[in-house]
Structure 1
């Protein structure tokens, strides 16, 4: 189990780093997917995933209650469906920038790979198959790496929730204008330079 938690922690950290670069810098700053008519649907799909992530963190990883664990599994299933919709929509939504760059496509593979790897390894730890029965483990306190894992998940939830709120807000005009003004305070992030950034 020690190895399993270490793999889950590393996968989660790699996912968070890559997803932050992809989801904030590329999607919301460089390409500003929320303002282009072609990519508004993609932004809405990203919004759904941004809302699902903190829910998965809390219900799947943290709660000891079995009913919450099953709810967490439902959020994971919805997340998988959302990934499929996102991949399907990307071809049309990126026409304004000449299509999805190949390197960003590869980045998406790594982001989702690490995300679902962390979930899969955790489920392998959580669900124990015995003789003629399936047991859901609810007590990991004896595992020495578990406190580090629990600390990581608890500290990711506030930031993940803020990203969800930001994605929701950017579906509306007034928050979009506020976001653009905020970016305008930093010369390297000014929206006026976005056309150059896309090239």
Structure 2
């Protein structure tokens, strides 16, 4: 390996450039036994302070949630999948109440589970969707309150389409609640889901 003329070597047992210009044992401070090892602790402290300053700057720039995701601390999504076919008419108000209670449980500073986002996936027959993806719990509650049932006509519904759509966009290890009163018409999607 070559180095520019006059540049110091890193040093250490694996550095083959210590015998070329500039000749020397190297500038490394990798451990206390290095040629400049007496500076190891000082160099490590300076590196730590500089790293902390950079991370704090990034944190203040991107905010808590994005910084947490950068560090790999991302929470899961709360996914709600609801059958909106006409046969759900007798129970849709109960489903709305349960769903809103679940969402309310995730709100506030003392919430045990605070999802990174909320995903609502309605399904019907012959259609499903559209998805609602939001970080605003109240927005989702309002969507649920305005939910109406319609259509259907035959018993099996497009259950797996509704679930699959939500799973395509949710965070890993998400919590999924599904509400339906019918078997799946699209059972062929079960392995994918």
Q: Output the TM-score relative to the length of structure 2.
A: 0.28
Structure number having the greater strand percentage: 2
Structure number having the greater helix percentage: 1
Please identify the structure whose Cα radius of gyration is greater.
2
User: Of the two structures, which has the highest relative contact order with CA contacts closer than 8 Å and spacing of 6 or more?
Assistant: 1
